[in-house]
A and B are shown apart, each in its own frame.
Chain A
Amino acid sequence: GIQVEQSPPDLILQEGANSTLRCNFSDSVNNLQWFHQNPWGQLINLFYIPSGTKQNGRLSATTVATERYSLLYISSSQTTDSGVYFCAVHRGNTPLVFGKGTRLSVIA
C-alpha cells in the first residue's frame, strides 16, 4: 500500500514564527488532505489538495503530485495552532491512509 511520511515529527515554535510541514508519499494519489487534530481529538479538515496550491488565512498548502510531496505552511503561528497535523492520501476508491503526523507546540 501507499506509504506516507511526515516531517518533522515534532516542532516547537515561538508565537509569531512561521513553519513548514512536509508530507512525502510513495505512489500517485487521487486525493491528499491535511488535517489538524485538536486536543479533543476532532480532525479538522484543512485542505483537500491533490495538486496545486491553496490558501486559507494564515495557512497554505502546496502539492507537487509529480514529485509526490506536499507542504503545509503556517505563518504567524498562534498558540491555538498547537496540536497534531496529519497528511493523508488515497488512490482509487481506497480509504485515506495517514502519516504519523507532526506534533506542533506553539509557545507564547
Chain B
Amino acid sequence: GAVVSQHPSWVICKSGTSVKIECRSLDFQATTMFWYRQFPKQSLMLMATSNEGSKATYEQGVEKDKFLINHASLTLSTLTVTSAHPEDSSFYICSARDLVRTEETQYFGPGTRLLVL
C-alpha cells in the first residue's frame, strides 16, 4: 500500500521557538495533503488542507500565521509551528490521497509528537 512518512517523530522545544514537520508520500504523488492534530484521548481534528503549488486552506479556528504550511512538490508538505507555546503541544498527523488509485483511500503518516516546554 501507499506509504506516508513524517519527520521528526518526536520533538521537544522551548517556548517561543519554531518547529518544522515534514510529510512525504514515498511511493505515490499527492496533489493534496491534509494536516490533523490530536490531543490526548481525543479524535483527530483537521487543521488544514495543503495543495501543491498553492496556498493551504485552513479550518475555522486554526491560525494560518501560526501554522505555516508549504506544499512545494507532489511528494512533500511541511507544517511549521511558529513561536510554539505549551498549548501547541499535541500529536500532529499528516495524510494524503493517492489520486492514481481507483479507491479514494486516505493514507496517514506515523505522526509527530510535539512537546513545548
Contacts and interface: CB of A to CB of B under 8 A. Distances in A.
Interface stretch (B11-19, B22-30, B72-80, B99-107): B99-107
Given A98-B44, A100-B43, A31 B93 contact: no
Interface in A2-58: 30-31, 33, 35, 40-43, 45, 48
A99 B44 CA distance: 8
Interface residues of A, number: 22
Contacts of A88: 44, 106
- Chain B, interface size category, equals 20 to 34
A48 B44 contact: no
Given A41-B91, A95-B34, A90 B110 contact: no
A48 B105 contact: yes
Nearest to B113: A41
B46 interface: yes
Nearest to B104: A31
14 contacts: A31-B104, A33-B106, A35-B108, A41-B38, A41-B91, A43-B108, A88-B44, A90-B106, A93-B32, A95-B34, A95-B46, A95-B95, A96-B95, A98-B44
